[in-house]
Chain A
Amino acid sequence: MIHLAKEDIKHSLGKFIVTAMGVGMLLGIVLIMMGVYRGMIVDAEVLLHDLDADLWVVQENTLGPFAESSRVHEDLKDTLKSVPGIDKSEAITFQSIQLPGKNGGKKVRVQVVGYDVYGEINPINPERLVEGRTLGIDHYEIVVTDKTGYKLHDTLKLGRNDYTVVGITHGSVASGGDSLVYLSLKDAQQIQFSYSNKRIQTDKARGILNKDAHLVNTVIATLKPGYDVDQVAQEIEQWHHKSVYTRAQQKIVLTRNVIEKASKQIGLFTAILVGVSTIIIALIIYTMTLEKIKEISIMKLIGLPNRMITQMIVEETLLLGILAFLFGNVFAHLISGKFPKRIVLDLPDAWGLFAVVVVASIFASFIGVKKVISADPSAAIGG
């Protein structure tokens, strides 16, 4: 039994493989784009996961603290304790800053998480702490991620003070992909809410007093077993005039509000890349068919049915698509670690792309098949 597609590919194997590798690189980029999106979702959930809070209490009518600015008083964490069902509560600050680069290097954008070192909830996930310890005292200690470049016991200047690196984490990122650094609540509040001496002097002269030093961005809380999270949230909203989000709601806020546009952009970009890949596969198949048009005319002239010839074209297209998909996966896995942001290559995404590639290949093969059907057998006769 002669297998036309197999024999044709065997005859020009090198060219076929190089073509598949080229298309594969394009498909690899598609996988990377999907991985960027998945990475954003994972990044967005790192803080939610590490804080492990059941409730997020923020400024009334805001989507804080990530999607919108939110300020609440620090002592809200004590007030919440009086709400039936609340187990632990903690005041947290979040602030984006430029961390000075090590040895005067390029500044690194990070998100500062401020928490009470002696409080009930520690936002530093022990699983991510790869070196050193969490914060032990109220001042001048900092825990950074390995991506900042700082090592244990390094010192760095933030605002007016020097901080010593006491711990290194790995994989701690904010929803935007910025690395997380951890400061004590007092230090974080000072950086976020304290003004310079000159500003304080000017404000005093104007009769304005700086009363904002004990503000935080959110108060998080965990529930005692047996309490309904929605009912407790409703109770807090009703009596304390705050907006309250459950963990699930905060996740929705993060994925829908914070990274929605970015994910749509990536989605559109991915769709365009899939479209471009389809067009490229179609063009390659069209060119491959054109290269064989004389042979196809001869096959038709000597009486070979269209079925045999179109089968060859469809099989070659499918094989090209599948091989390109395999190369794409290898390529994506090889380069995914080189990107500055997290790339998550999910198996379901790969299968999804595989299905798209198969459909796109079949679609692309129609162009070759059309050429086969319209090929004139009489072209084989004469010069």
Chain B
Amino acid sequence: MSQEQAIKIEALNKSFGKGDAFVDVIQDASFTINKGELVALVAPSGAGKTTLLMMLGCVDAPTSGTIWLGEEKVYDNKWLTKETRKIRREKIGFIFQAHYLIPFLNIIDNLRLLPQANKTDDKQSKAKARELLKYFDIAEKEKAMPSQLSGGQNQRVAIARALMNDPEIILADEPTAALDMARSIDVVKMLKKIASEQDVAIIMVTHDERMLKYCDRVMKIENKGIVFDDEHTTKIL
């Protein structure tokens, strides 16, 4: 595991509403996640997991604080660039509860969509997509439509898509929610492997405590603050 920082948060706050409707969701959160780490994010429903994920994904602006993605400071009480979508395109990979592949694109085109937006050479993106499909053992399905694949296969394609832009971090929102136990373990082990082999930081939201032992660290939202629970952390994997 590298000691190079992938995400650094300092004094992050997020609140919604005004007056009687004012709600504090995240208060004074500070943490660092290094490249190569798989970190589980655990909290009860409504505690702010999605809000945190959206802030880290440069979708929602924090109320105050500082965010570094890699060595680049992207937020310092305001976005430091107008093109937050470009940051997402170049630095962040997303995995969702369901695979959310584009249903009208075949598997390889689902993977090539992001490189096309980044104006990557067509041949290069095709080669990279094939390499990833091979890595996830679904190379023979490159021309298939998402509707023709099983849930587990689609989730692997979704993970492959998240890796197409060589991200520094991957934000995974309950990627095992729609899978059975065996497949869930497969996916989390796969994420662990990706984190270490591709040197990428992965934050995975999960409600399933059985998955925590496969993660390097467990991050919890407690009393609106971020705490790390080392009890669940395994050093064996």
Contacts and interface: CB of A to CB of B under 8 A. Distances in A.
A301 B102 CA distance: 13
A67 interface: no
A349 to B, nearest CB: 36
Category for how many chain B residues contact A: 20 to 34
Nearest to A301: B94
A295 B60 CA distance: 19
A377 B89 contact: no
Nearest to B87: A303
A302 B114 contact: yes
Interface string A356-383: 0000000000000000000001101111
Contacts of A381: 50, 53-54, 57, 59, 94, 96, 173
Category for how many chain A residues contact B: 20 to 34
Given A303-B117, A304-B114, A378-B60, A2 B96 contact: no
A190 B35 CA distance: 108
A8 interface: yes
Interface string B96-117: 1100101111000100111011
B143 interface: no
Contacts of B96: 298, 380-381
B225 to A, nearest CB: 21
Contacts of A382: 50, 97, 173
Given A301-B57, A381-B50, A1 B122 contact: yes
Given A2-B109, A2-B113, A302 B94 contact: yes
B155 to A, nearest CB: 14
Contact of A299 (B90, B102, B112, B122): B102
Interface in A1-40: 1-2, 4, 7-8, 10-12
Contacts of A342: none
Contact of A7 (B93, B104, B117): B104
Contacts of A7: 104-105, 109
Nearest to B104: A11
A304 B89 contact: yes
Contact of A8 (B92, B104, B117, B122): B104
B104 A302 contact: no
A304 B173 contact: no
B103 A295 contact: yes
A13 B103 CA distance: 14
Contacts of B60: 378
A226 interface: no
A88 interface: no
A383 B207 CA distance: 13
B100 A380 contact: yes
B100 A377 contact: no
Given A1-B122, A2-B109, A381-B53, A303 B85 contact: yes
Nearest to A294: B100
B102 A10 contact: no
B53 A303 contact: no
Given A2-B112, A304-B114, A305-B117, 4 more contacts: A298-B96, A302-B113, A302-B114, A303-B87
Nearest 3 A-B pairs (CB), nearest first?
A: A303-B89, A11-B104, A303-B88
7 contacts: A10-B104, A301-B59, A301-B94, A304-B114, A304-B117, A308-B117, A381-B50
